[in-house]
């Protein structure tokens, strides 16, 4: 299928394009090599669990600290995906192929890739076990196992994805089904959901709604589409400044938002979705759909739920300022698998990586960590094929913006950043351990304005 590509122009877009061209010319100097091919040992100075954003980023940073031969990553997957771009894949603005690369190409050269799944953590003995019956010990452990998608907690899924008219931007297996459902839409309800659990990229469930509405307008189908966002939450967004801006868009575009509505069943053969009213447990409503986008319930990976490193809810129990484990001083966590009280995004992981790098450096020297993570996270709220509201905020849900303009306004420049600049930064800077978030840019901009 040919993607629907936004037309971007203007001075800001040209500036971003220029930066991308300059970066691409230099990218060859930064290319990563494949992982080491020598046999895995049973002990490492630093052991990283997970080959996602946090795991690869921290492996790159630890390689520079203790040497590649003293670092290993445990990860079973053959491919690594830049998942934030799947919002645009589901809307036909990017190809799925652009989001993935071989895992071997992103693991830092010389770092050992243990191609296995973690089955048990034993922090009291400083070791872990894998599904190929190996025991691996460590001096320092970094847990970056991500978040688990639980489609099966919705009755009728995941088998319902075999039917048409239904998709989900949260899985490589179902994101293209969203684009197919969008293209095949004729007339009726277009329904978008948000589950009653923590999720990664909490803005994504509504981003695809705005993109779908824009697509319907572009293709002359808007008058035939009743667009419904059923969310288990009680507000459209957790930060008032951006919530106010989104509410205005919702009003202007005639979108229906129903709060405290949780998807509990999909009857894909009948094109019906069943929602429970969280304010009145047991009360349900059946909505027929012409298109359904499902955001699945999510939770900590199974291996963590009963692990000694987990809190009562199953998340890695870390100090929210240093990312050091609360009970095991040589264990650290980063990203979606932790109980850090901030939105689970790639931008948050970038900011966390710089803090964790400094924390581990000091711990290795028997010093007390001093650098503190403020909860920085970012959500580029895509509101159309060429517009983004760039939400940035901290633990207190207060805006923590990078640029010297009002980021609650829809902007073309922020769309270009989301669609083109951020993927480049991710592959060529963050995964190599050179991007710790925009804090330094924020300081430079605000110094320039003072």
The torsion region of residue 181 among left (phi > 0), alpha (psi -120 to 50) and beta comes to alpha
Please give the helix or strand (H or E) that residue 205 lies within, else none: helix 204-218
CA–CA distance, 23 with 34 (Å, rounded to integer): 22
In 3-state terms, what secondary structure has residue 82? coil
Tell me if 147 sits within 8 A of 200, measured CB to CB: yes
The answer for residues whose C-beta is within 8 angstroms of residue 140's C-beta and 6 or more apart is: 45, 46, 47, 330, 331, 332, 360, 363, 364
Closest CA to 391 of 399, 209, 351, 383: 399
379: annotated active-site residue? yes
Tokens, residue 413: 């420049």
Contact between 145 and 337 (Cβ < 8 Å): yes
- List the catalytic residue out of 18, 127, 337, 379: 379
First to last CA, the chain: 50
Spatial separation of the C-alpha atoms in residues 335 and 343, rounded to whole Å: 10
Q: How far is CA 219 from the centre of its chain?
A: 30
Residue 201 annotated in active site: yes
3-state secondary structure 112-171: EEECCCEEEEECCCCEEEECCCCEEEEEEEEECCCCEECHHHCECCCHHHHCCCEECCCC
> How are beta strands 188-194 and 291-293 bridged, if at all?
parallel
Q: Round to whole Å and give the CA distance between 126 and 141.
A: 8
**Active site members:** 201, 379
């Amino acid at each position: 299928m040919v993607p629907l590509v936004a037309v971007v122009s203007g001075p800001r877009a040209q500036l971003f394009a220029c930066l991308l061209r300059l970066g691409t010319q230099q990218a060859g100097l930064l290319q990563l090599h494949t992982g080491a091919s020598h046999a895995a040992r049973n002990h490492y100075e630093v052991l990283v669990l997970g080959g996602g954003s946090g795991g690869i980023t921290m492996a790159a940073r630890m390689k520079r600290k203790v040497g590649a031969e003293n670092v290993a990553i445990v990860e079973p997957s053959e491919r690594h995906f830049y998942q934030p771009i799947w919002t645009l894949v589901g809307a036909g603005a990017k190809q799925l192929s652009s989001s993935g690369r071989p895992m071997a190409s992103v693991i830092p050269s010389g770092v050992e890739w243990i191609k296995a799944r973690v089955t048990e953590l034993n922090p009291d003995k400083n070791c872990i076990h894998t599904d190929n019956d190996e025991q691996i010990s460590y001096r320092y452990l970094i847990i970056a196992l991500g978040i688990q998608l639980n489609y099966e907690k919705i009755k009728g899924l995941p088998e319902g994805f075999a039917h048409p008219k239904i998709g989900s931007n949260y899985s490589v297996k179902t994101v293209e089904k969203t684009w197919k459902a969008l293209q095949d839409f004729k007339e009726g309800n277009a329904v978008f959901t948000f589950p009653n659990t923590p999720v990664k990229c909490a803005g994504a469930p509504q981003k695809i709604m705005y993109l779908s509405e824009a697509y319907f307008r572009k293709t002359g189908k808007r008058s035939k589409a009743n667009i419904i966002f059923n969310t288990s939450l009680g507000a459209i967004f957790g930060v008032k400044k951006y919530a106010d801006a989104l509410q205005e868009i919702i009003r202007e575009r005639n979108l229906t938002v129903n709060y405290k509505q949780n998807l509990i069943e999909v009857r894909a053969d009948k094109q019906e979705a069943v929602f429970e009213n969280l304010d009145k447990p047991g009360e349900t409503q059946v909505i027929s759909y012409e298109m359904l986008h499902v955001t699945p319930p999510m939770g900590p990976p199974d291996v963590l739920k009963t692990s000694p490193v987990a809190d009562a809810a199953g998340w890695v129990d870390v100090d929210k300022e240093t990312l050091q484990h609360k009970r095991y001083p040589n264990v650290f966590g980063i990203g979606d698998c932790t109980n850090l009280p901030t939105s689970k995004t790639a931008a948050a992981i970038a900011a966390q990586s710089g803090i964790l790098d400094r924390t581990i450096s000091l711990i290795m020297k028997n010093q007390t960590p001093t650098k503190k993570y403020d909860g920085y996270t970012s959500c580029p709220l895509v509101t159309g094929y060429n517009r983004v509201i760039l939400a940035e905020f901290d633990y207190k849900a207060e805006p923590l913006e990078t640029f010297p303009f009002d980021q609650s306004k829809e902007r073309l420049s922020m769309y270009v950043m989301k669609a083109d600049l951020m993927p480049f930064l991710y592959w060529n800077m963050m995964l190599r351990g050179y991007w710790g978030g925009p804090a330094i840019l924020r300081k430079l901009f605000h110094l320039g304005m003072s």
